[in-house]
A and B are shown apart, each in its own frame.
Chain A
C-alpha cells in the first residue's frame, strides 16, 4: 500500500538522479572496492573498506610509512618518560579540520575521551584499554598516560582507530557521526563530498591541507561485490583501480599491457584453528600431526596462483615483533608417527568448517581434507556463510561450540605482535577472540610480560619465545600461508599506496590521460 502511493515521486527522483551523478572527469580516479565503507567514524571501524577511506579523510598523531616505520602525522615529535607510562606528543600547529575548526590539544583529548567512554559504546574501545587518561599540557602538547608500561603503545597510536575526528562535528552528530558525507569531518588531504550508499563515495581534494596537496581532484569509491564484474570493469576502463583480484584472473590481467599489478605482502595469514578443549585436539601431538600432514606448497601453487607466500611463523613478516621460525615441513610419515604416539595410530574422524568469505575458502578445505585422509584422518566438510560461522566465534563456552577444525583469517590490524597474538591465543574462558580455546600457561605469562615491556630488544625476545610455543611446541593453529594484498590498476595510474594492512590509498596518486 505504502509502495503504490510513493512510486511516482520515487520515479521522478530517479530521473533527477540520472542527470546529476558524477561522471568521470579529467583529474578524477575511480576505485572499485569489494564493498562500500561501513562507517567513516574511526572509533567504530572494523573493516578495511572503511579504513582506507578513513586514512584519506583523517590523520592520526603518528602513522606507519610504507616500510611500517612510525612517522609524524598530526604530532611532530613524541617521547616516553622514565616511568615508561607517560607519553608526550608535540602537535602540529595551524592545522584545520574540514569545517575550518582549529586542531589543538583539546581536540586530541576529546577524541580519546570519546572512544574510551563506555557510555558511547564505540566498537574500538578495547583497543585503547591500556590508556588511563589524556592530559592537555598546553595548546599543542598532549600527555597520554597508560595504566602500565605498554609495549605496543606506538602501534596503537598508529592504528586507524586513533585517527583524530573533528570533536565539534562528532559531538553535534552523536551516533550518526561518520555515517554520511555531512557527518564526517577530519583534517586529511581529502574530504567527503557525497556518499550514496553502495553506489559511490566521492572525495574531493582538501585545498587547505597542511601537508602536500593531493594530485587528484576527486576520488570516487565504487563498490563492486562481484569479483568477475570488477575485473571486466577494469579491463574496459570503467574503473581505474580494483582490489582483491581473484586468482583465476590474475594471469590474464598480468598479460594485459594496459594493466599493472601491485602485490604487497600483508599482515594477514590464513589458518585452520582447532577446538582445543575437544578430543582429540587437546593433545598437542595431534595438532602437530595435522600440521605436518598438510602440503601447503600444493595448496599455494594449485589454488592460489602464487598470490600468497608460505607461512614461516605465526605472524607475517610485516608485523612488528615477529619471529622467523621457518616453514612447517610436509611430512606424512612424521604425522603418522605422531598420531601413533598420541594413541590414535588409525587416525580419527573429524569435521572441517570453512566459509566462502575467504578467498578459495571452500577449495582449500577440500584440499586439506584430502591431505588429511592420506594419514588416516577422515573429515567431513561443512561450509558456512559468514554470519553463521561468526556466531560460533562470539563468546561461547567450550561445550556449546560445535566447531572442530575451522578456517580463520587472522591479522593484526595494528601490525604489531601484541595485537596479533594476545587477543587470539591468550587464555579465555569463552571464545571471545580466542576462537579455538587455546590455552598455554607459559605462553600467557610470556605474552603478558611482553605487553608490559617497552624496551624493543627485551620485547622482541619475549615475543620470539611466545611464537616458538604457539607455532612449534604447542601449535595453536595450522598456518597455511601469508596473504598478498593484490591490486590491479590501469597503467596510467601512478603512485598508488598499498599497505600491508590491505589498504589502497591515494595521497600522492596521479592519473594521466590514456
Chain B
C-alpha cells in the first residue's frame, strides 16, 4: 500500500511538471501582448515598452519559465499583471466559492444520481425506470449555460424563491449547484442503474433472495455495496471535471471563483495568473484522482492485489 501511494506521488509530481511546461508554452503561443492590454487603447509606445520591461516580458522565454518554476516550487506563483496582487493569494481567496459549488454539485449529483439509479434498477422496465432515464438523458444533454439562465428565469424572476446572482448566503448556492450538478447527476444515475442491474442478476444476490433475506437487505447489504465500486471512480473523476466546469456557472451567476479568474486572465493575457490558475486546478484534479484511487483500493480489495 505504501509503495502504491509513493508511486502515485511521483506520478503526481511528473504530471504537474508536465502541466507547467504545457501551460507556459500554450499561453505564450496564443497571440496577444499583456503590455498592450495593461496600457489601454490610448497609450503611447514608450509607456507600452516600459510596462513590457517592468513585467519582465523582454527576457528570453526559457529565463521566464525557469524563474516561474523556481518560484512555483516555493509556493510563489508570481504577481498578477492586471491587478498587481500575488497570484497565489488571489486563487486561495476565490477557491472557496469554486470549491463550495463543486462539492455541492458533486454531493447533489452523487446522492441524486444514486437514488434515482437505484429506483430505476428496482423498477426495471416499468414507469419509474423510463421516467428516470428520460430525465437523466435531459440532464446529461442540457448545456449548463442555458440551464443556469432557465433556472434563474423560473426560480428567481417568476417564483422569487432564490436570489439570481452573486454568492453571499446559502440560498445563493442553490441554483449554481443544481446547474453544475445536473449533468453529472444524469451520468451517475445511468451508471448506478446499470451497475445495480448487473449486480442484481448475479448468483450471490439470487442466493441471498433464495435464503429468504428481506428485499431491502438484499439491495443494501449485497447489491449496493458491490454496485458502488464503479460509481466511486466516476464520482472522483466527476469532481475534478466539476471543478474545471464551474467556469460557465460562475459566469452566469456572477460568482468570483477560480473559473472566472482563469477566463479573465486569459482575456487579459495575464500570464502569471493563467499559469498559476491552471497549475492550481491541475493540482487539485491530480490530487483528487489519486485520493479516489486510494479510496478505490480500500473499498475493493482486488485493486490492492492487482496493483501493488
Residues of A within 8 A of B (CB): 1-4, 6-7, 10-11, 13-14, 17-18, 21-23, 32, 38, 45-47, 118, 121-127, 175-176, 179, 196-200, 222-226, 228-229, 232-233, 235-236, 238-239, 385-388, 390-391, 393-395, 413, 419, 423, 430, 432-433
A232–B42 touching, CB < 8 Å? no
Does any Cβ of A come within 8 Å of B296's Cβ?
no
A390–B168 touching, CB < 8 Å? no
A387–B269 touching, CB < 8 Å? yes
Residues of chain A within 8 A of B149, CB atoms compared: 228-229, 232
What distance in Å separates the Cβ of B17 from its nearest Cβ neighbour in chain A?
Answer: 12
Residues of chain A within 8 A of B100, CB atoms compared: 14
Residues of chain B within 8 A of A1, CB atoms compared: 12, 16, 283, 287
In the complex, the number of residue pairs spanning A and B with C-beta atoms less than 8 Å apart equals 173
A46–B43 touching, CB < 8 Å? yes
B256–A196 touching, CB < 8 Å? yes
Does any Cβ of A come within 8 Å of B280's Cβ?
yes
The SS class assigned to the B binding surface is helix
Does any Cβ of A come within 8 Å of B75's Cβ?
yes
A232–B156 touching, CB < 8 Å? yes
B92–A390 touching, CB < 8 Å? no
A390–B83 touching, CB < 8 Å? no
B44–A433 touching, CB < 8 Å? yes
Q: A3-B283, A226-B251, A228-B149 are in contact. Are A18 and B47 (CB under 8 A)?
A: no
Given A199-B166, A236-B164, A238-B156, 14 more A-B residue pairs with CB atoms under 8 Å apart are A1-B287, A10-B99, A121-B51, A125-B44, A222-B254, A223-B254, A225-B251, A226-B254, A229-B253, A233-B165, A387-B30, A390-B36, A391-B33, A391-B36
Assign chain B's interface to a size class: 35 or more
Q: For A423, give the chain B residue with the smallest CB separation.
A: B42
What's the Cα separation between A388 and B283 when bound, in Å?
Answer: 29
B43–A238 touching, CB < 8 Å? no
What distance in Å separates the Cβ of A279 from its nearest Cβ neighbour in chain B?
Answer: 25
Q: A236-B156, A391-B36 are in contact. Are A3 and B45 (CB under 8 A)?
A: no
B36–A393 touching, CB < 8 Å? yes
Among A45, A125, A391, the residue within 8 A (CB) of B32 is: A391
Residues of chain A within 8 A of B42, CB atoms compared: 46, 126-127, 413, 419, 423, 433
What's the Cα separation between A17 and B97 when bound, in Å?
Answer: 10
What distance in Å separates the Cβ of A382 from its nearest Cβ neighbour in chain B?
Answer: 12
A3–B287 touching, CB < 8 Å? yes
B164–A390 touching, CB < 8 Å? no
Chain B positions 136-169 with a Cβ under 8 Å from a chain A Cβ: 149, 152-153, 156-157, 160, 163-169
What's the Cα separation between A390 and B157 when bound, in Å?
Answer: 38
A225–B254 touching, CB < 8 Å? yes
Among B37, B41, B45, B92, the residue within 8 A (CB) of A387 is: B37
A235–B157 touching, CB < 8 Å? yes
